Structure 1
Amino acid sequence: MDTISERYESQPSGPKYRALAIAIREAVSEKELPVGQKLPPVRDLAWRLQITPGTVARAYTILTDEGTLMAEVGRGTYVADPVKRPRPLLPEAPWPTVQTSDPDAPISFVSPKLPDHGQCDMVRQAFAQVAMHPADRLMNYPSRSGFKPAREAALNWLADTPLGAVSQDDLVLSHGGQNGIGLVMQACLRGTKPVVLVEELSYPGFRRAAELIRAEVIDVPMDDKGIIPDALDELARRYDAQLLCTSPEVHNPTVLVTPQSRREEIARVARRRGFHVAEDDCYRIGARTGQSYRALLPQQGWHVASISKSITPALRIGFVVAPDGWQSELRRVAEHGFFGLAQPLADVATQVLTSPDLDRVLDAVRADYARYIRSAVNVLGSYDLTWRQDVPFLWLSLPQGWRAVSFVRAAERVGVQLRAADEFALRDKRTPHAVRIAINAQVSLEQFDQAMHRLRDLLDNPPESIAI
């Protein structure tokens, strides 16, 4: 342990897990840790070095994956025999992180952009590990049994979501949340012109998925608690609606939360009228505030989530949880539509979702988003701004006389890209004069703050082309 401690303390500044991995690798190379030497338990070494057990576990995992160490269940971690050691899966040099934008380039606040707090390394290590899998997982069509580890990892990821009685057999992996919404619609909609209900301001993906299967979309009036139950009841009756798509935890784009009492009212309407409810939970990165519709409506509630807003959107990994009695129909739609995810991609998802460092990464992402949110509120807070520290976008209602589309164009002229409220409504509907500002945590906080001040200058000094 003294050898590891001395080499660790001599490492230059940088991520602690990487410094520890380098220290152990050097000690093995110099024969200070001979073949067969047992390494200290994770918690013992963490206490000695005054770092977290997760940091030690991550370093051990890196060295085990590359073959420097070997782990034996129930016995511990040992220095591996170099004769039997495979070539390193990843180079030893640090990988580049996400690049920040050019200071002179437009800054996009159209969709949230995640900061990298280790996700890139997690994904790289996962791909490297999957590359060493047996040939049968790389050469054959995927099977349902082959996806079981990924489904179990996904269900663990959803452990804080009150879904009611649920097992991994109720879950199907999708290519992100949007694909998941499409799977729900294909599974539960019937007839030549089914009707889908959405909030009057809602995620545009609901409408696009419905259009692909030639469904009619009807918007439901809202108040400051979400969908108005009486209006929902009337529209569901009038149009014989089959599905409601909603986002009660993080309403996109207004940030509002549908309280538990309102969800229960909506669930009662759904039971009375017999329509399904698909909950889009993809934007939530904080704690739940109420029950899911799957828990409230065990035979009618669908749940869609993904890792795109909290880990990475690049993998396109999403999850759909079916209500009781609809599991086989959901599986049929996925299997007939695209045979399920590629097996290596499902295996990568399993590796990422079971990483010992995942909780630390998620905490760091949430903390970073909160810093950017506070910056925006400090600059724009005197205007009608709706926000939460654990939601990666803000909703800015423009002062009377402003027009959202014109404001977006003016923002583009000063190098800031936004989304107008019009993009979240049906095409023939009137919309509020408001814009959504997504958090881009891939630019520096200084760049972000400067962009917020540009928006503030527009709000304070509207040109004639905007004000009426």
Structure 2
Amino acid sequence: MDKKISFPCWLKSLSFNSGPKYMALADAIEQAVKNGSLHSGDKLPTHRWLADVLNVTIGTITRGYAEAERRRLITARVGSGTFVTGKVWQQAQFNVPQKPESTLIDMSLTLQVPAPREEILAETLQMIASDPLRMTSLLDYLPETGLERHRSIIAGWLATLSIHVNPDNILITNGGQHGNMMALQAATRPGDTIVSESLTYPGFINAARQWQTHHIGLPMDEHGLIPEALEQCCLQHRPKLLYLMPSLQNPTALIMPIQRREQIIEIARRHKLLILEDDVQFVASDKRLTSLYSLAPDLVIYSGSFSKTLSGGLRTGYLCYPAHLRERLVMAMRSDCWVPPPLMAEVASEWIESGIAEQLIRWQTEAIARRQKLMTHHLKGIDIQAQTYSFHGWLKLPEPWRAETFVRHLNNKGVKVLQSELFAVGSYSVPQAVRLCISSPDSDNKVQFALETIRDILTVELDPIYRPLVF
């Protein structure tokens, strides 16, 4: 047995008194990781050895290890064995630094759920600093595409999302917004026509304006961009790039079905139209549909980021691109910043490899699910589009409300949201709606208060008695 195995210690909490034996084994592993009896890199006993010692079947051990792996506690390496992935971070362990109190509840930005990532980052930086060779690799001038090791880890991460890409076709960026700008510069020239849905991410609207492109917004339905509108636009304007968010549209929170994705790719291929697929928004792994990039890797630039999943401050994103765009992307990166700071990519890579990334995502998924239930409960009967895992919802206002008036009135009540006008492209007729983000407030109580405030304004203050006060 491997010298690192501490069998008598970490199995002390194992009990077969009640429940399935395989679950008891997984619980024992989780408890050992929590209390420090097992550490990152520790090797666990073989299935056969542990089955003999515990007097259970090998199948029980296999199921127990599988459950522990599902919880992101351990990982199996072919030909080497089963190893502990890292420390279990729990909400109860967090010591969140208190921010200055503010009377305004800001629900205007799709930020990751507040969590004390400070402790995790401090431990990670200490680990990196303790390895001189590792530090040296981060202090040299690097290739514009970033370190091959980081790109390989990102490729492995994407593979868990069923997105398979060669590390050589990955460009590390300073977050998703930077990635979108690099894609714009590589795929278009100032004066070119680009298209997107009529309601889209304001950051891309600004990037397209800065790059001096002609940006056209196309009609949408309940599934996103309407294919016939894209076909007509291609015939009339011959655009060079199509920008889409099929996995979770911002701001409408719509999901584009597979058939619609295939229709759009078919149109784009006939008209030699490149597609920029923005997949920065947080989407639960079990809710993902096949990406545009997976359907047409020769036609699609895939833009991703760790901002919504790990930390916005890491400013680490990535582009997956068709091979023929490599030189143009490298030139765009070289002229912009040469290469993003590798330390940030190193932190993201460490969190992925250690299992911290999955633990943060699991905690965030649970928090968002709670807040989505709050929104469903408090805004029952109100027209709002959202997903159970989405950071935001798209609230369509009833008559006679206008978005600008509603936002101003809500702000006076201490809640900040964004109106639909900010997401509109060109002269598109803007719906009377607002985007409200449930992820950014630092407590569920603040989310609940904001939702109750929204409900009261939409129900009580639309009574004829109150209308003169509102308008």
- TM-score bracket, shorter-length normalisation: 0.7 to 0.9
Query: Residue type matched to 2:44 in 1?
Result: P
Q: Secondary structure at the match of 1:326?
A: helix
CA deviation map 1:300-338 (0-9, x unaligned):
211111111121111111111002422333233223321
CA deviation map 1:110-154 (0-9, x unaligned):
113333567444332222222233353354212369611111111
8 Å CA contact 2:195, 2:216 repeated in 1? yes
Q: Spell out the pairing of 1:96-111 with structure 2 (5 A cutoff).
A: 96-97=95-96, 99=98, 102=101, 105-111=103-109
2:264 to 251, 258, 266: 266
Structure 1 residues 258 and 55, CA gap change in structure 2 (3 angstroms): closer
Query: Residue type matched to 1:225 in 2?
Result: H
Alignment partner, residue 334 of structure 1: 333
Q: Distance in 2 between matches of 1:101 and 1:465?
A: 36
Alignment partner, residue 140 of structure 2: 140
Q: Distance in 2 between matches of 1:118 and 1:353?
A: 17
Query: Residue type matched to 1:381 in 2?
Result: K
After TM superposition, give the deviation of residue 41 of structure 1 in Å.
3.4
8 Å CA contact 2:198, 2:424 repeated in 1? yes
Number of residue-to-residue matches in the alignment:
417
Q: Secondary structure at the match of 1:314?
A: helix
Q: Distance in 1 between matches of 2:261 and 2:80?
A: 47
Alignment partner, residue 21 of structure 2: none
Q: Secondary structure at the match of 2:394?
A: strand
**Counterpart check, 1:385 vs 2:400:** no
Q: Distance in 2 between matches of 1:17 and 1:430?
A: 58
Query: Residue type matched to 1:309 in 2?
Result: K
Structure 1 residues 177 and 377, CA gap change in structure 2 (3 angstroms): same
Alignment partner, residue 345 of structure 1: 344
Alignment partner, residue 41 of structure 1: 44
Q: Secondary structure at the match of 2:313?
A: coil
Q: Distance in 1 between matches of 2:213 and 2:42?
A: 60
Q: Secondary structure at the match of 2:196?
A: strand
Q: Distance in 1 between matches of 2:375 and 2:82?
A: 48
8 Å CA contact 1:170, 1:327 repeated in 2? yes
Q: Distance in 2 between matches of 1:272 and 1:98?
A: 54
1:464 to 463, 467, 470: 467
Structure 1 residues 219 and 4, CA gap change in structure 2 (3 angstroms): closer
Q: Spell out the pairing of 1:87-236 with structure 2 (5 A cutoff).
A: 96-97=95-96, 99=98, 102=101, 105-115=103-113, 119-132=117-130, 133-134=132-133, 136-143=136-143, 147-163=147-163, 166-190=165-189, 192-236=190-234
CA deviation map 1:366-416 (0-9, x unaligned):
111010011011001211111110111111101121101110111111110
After TM superposition, give the deviation of residue 95 of structure 1 in Å.
6.6
Structure 1 residues 76 and 182, CA gap change in structure 2 (3 angstroms): closer
8 Å CA contact 1:101, 1:443 repeated in 2? no
8 Å CA contact 1:196, 1:216 repeated in 2? yes
8 Å CA contact 1:108, 1:418 repeated in 2? yes
Q: Which moved more, 1:457-466 or 1:50-59?
A: 50-59
After TM superposition, give the deviation of residue 299 of structure 1 in Å.
2.2
8 Å CA contact 1:280, 1:303 repeated in 2? yes
Structure 1 residues 272 and 377, CA gap change in structure 2 (3 angstroms): same
8 Å CA contact 2:301, 2:320 repeated in 1? yes
Q: Distance in 2 between matches of 1:336 and 1:323?
A: 20
Q: Distance in 1 between matches of 2:191 and 2:468?
A: 42
- Normalised by the length of structure 2, the TM-score is 0.78
Q: Distance in 1 between matches of 2:145 and 2:229?
A: 44
Q: Secondary structure at the match of 2:217?
A: strand
Q: Distance in 2 between matches of 1:252 and 1:145?
A: 28
After TM superposition, give the deviation of residue 101 of structure 1 in Å.
7.2
Query: Residue type matched to 2:159 in 1?
Result: A
Q: Distance in 2 between matches of 1:95 and 1:447?
A: 19
Alignment partner, residue 354 of structure 1: 353
Alignment partner, residue 365 of structure 2: 366
Q: Distance in 2 between matches of 1:239 and 1:329?
A: 24
**Counterpart check, 1:20 vs 2:35:** yes
Alignment partner, residue 255 of structure 1: 253
After TM superposition, give the deviation of residue 43 of structure 1 in Å.
9.0
Query: Residue type matched to 2:229 in 1?
Result: A
Q: Distance in 1 between matches of 2:469 and 2:199?
A: 23
Structure 1 residues 370 and 184, CA gap change in structure 2 (3 angstroms): same
Q: Which moved more, 1:104-113 or 1:307-316?
A: 104-113
Q: Distance in 2 between matches of 1:146 and 1:235?
A: 37
Q: Distance in 2 between matches of 1:362 and 1:118?
A: 13
CA deviation map 1:85-130 (0-9, x unaligned):
xxxxxxxxx773254773x621111113333567444332222222
Q: Which moved more, 1:388-397 or 1:439-448?
A: 439-448
Query: Residue type matched to 1:20 in 2?
Result: N
Q: Secondary structure at the match of 2:242?
A: strand
Unaligned runs of 5+ in 2: 1-6, 14-29, 55-63, 84-92
Structure 1 residues 40 and 310, CA gap change in structure 2 (3 angstroms): closer
Query: Residue type matched to 1:224 in 2?
Result: E
Q: Which moved more, 1:217-226 or 1:326-335?
A: 326-335
Q: What is the percent sequence identity of the aligned residues? A: 24
Q: Secondary structure at the match of 1:178?
A: helix
Query: Residue type matched to 2:422 in 1?
Result: E
Alignment partner, residue 411 of structure 1: 410
Structure 1 residues 408 and 56, CA gap change in structure 2 (3 angstroms): closer
Q: Distance in 2 between matches of 1:371 and 1:197?
A: 36
Query: Residue type matched to 1:141 in 2?
Result: Y
Structure 1 residues 229 and 146, CA gap change in structure 2 (3 angstroms): closer
Query: Residue type matched to 1:368 in 2?
Result: A
After TM superposition, give the deviation of residue 2 of structure 1 in Å.
5.4
Structure 1 residues 294 and 6, CA gap change in structure 2 (3 angstroms): closer
Q: Distance in 2 between matches of 1:261 and 1:237?
A: 22
Structure 1 residues 466 and 101, CA gap change in structure 2 (3 angstroms): farther
Q: Distance in 1 between matches of 2:275 and 2:391?
A: 24
